[in-house]
C-alpha cells in the first residue's frame, strides 16, 4: 500500500503526468466550486474545504490505507504546497493589476 501511495505523490516525466492532471483538475474545478458552495450556503470559509478533505481521506482509511502512511503523504504534499506559495511570493505574488 505504501508503494501505491508513493506513486500518487511523484510526477512522472510524461506529458499527461497523472499527478499534474489531478492537480490541474483540483485547481480548475474543485477549488472554485468549494469556495462557491461555502459562499452560497453561508458556511464559514474553509469549512467545506477542511471537512471535504477529511472525508475524502477518510475513504482512504476505510479502504485500508494506514493512518501513518496517509499522515506522511499529506505532510509531504503540504510541504510542496508551501514551497509553491513561497516561490509565488518571491516572483511577486498573485497578479494585482498594473502599478
Ligand atoms: Zn506531473
SS3 annotation, 48-69: HHHHHHHHHHHHHHHCCCCHHH
Q: Tell how far the Cα of 40 is from the centroid of ligand 1, in angstroms.
A: 33
Distance 36 CA to ligand 1 centre (A): 27
Using DSSP's 3-state secondary structure scheme, residue 13 falls into: coil
- DSSP letter, residue 27: I
Report the distance separating Cα 84 and Cα 86, nearest Å: 5
For residue 44, the model assigns a pLDDT of 97
What pLDDT is attached to residue 2? 72
Evaluate whether residue 72 is within a structural domain.
yes
Total number of domains in the chain = 1
Query: What is the distance in A from the centroid of ligand 1 to the CA of 39?
Result: 31
| Confidence bin at 95 (pLDDT 50/70/90) | low
Structure confidence by residue, pLDDT tens digits, 24-78: 999 999 999 999 999 999 999 999 999 999 999 999 999 999 999 999 999 999 9
- Let me know if residue 95 belongs to a domain: no
Q: Examine residue 25 and state whether it is found in any structural domain, yes or no.
A: yes
Domain range enclosing 67: 21-89
pTM exceeding 0.85: no
The Å distance, Cα 26 to ligand 1 centre, comes to 14
Amino acid at each position: 500500500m505504501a508503494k501505491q501511495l508513493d506513486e500518487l505523490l511523484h510526477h512522472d516525466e510524461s506529458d499527461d503526468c497523472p499527478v499534474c492532471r489531478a492537480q490541474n483538475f483540483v485547481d480548475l474545478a474543485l477549488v472554485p466550486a468549494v469556495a462557491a458552495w461555502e459562499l452560497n450556503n453561508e458556511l464559514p470559509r474553509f469549512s467545506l474545504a477542511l471537512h471535504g478533505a477529511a472525508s475524502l481521506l477518510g475513504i482512504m482509511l476505510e479502504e485500508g490505507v494506514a493512518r501513518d502512511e496517509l499522515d506522511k503523504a499529506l505532510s509531504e504534499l503540504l510541504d510542496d504546497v508551501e514551497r509553491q506559495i513561497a516561490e509565488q511570493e518571491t516572483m511577486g505574488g498573485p497578479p494585482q493589476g498594473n502599478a
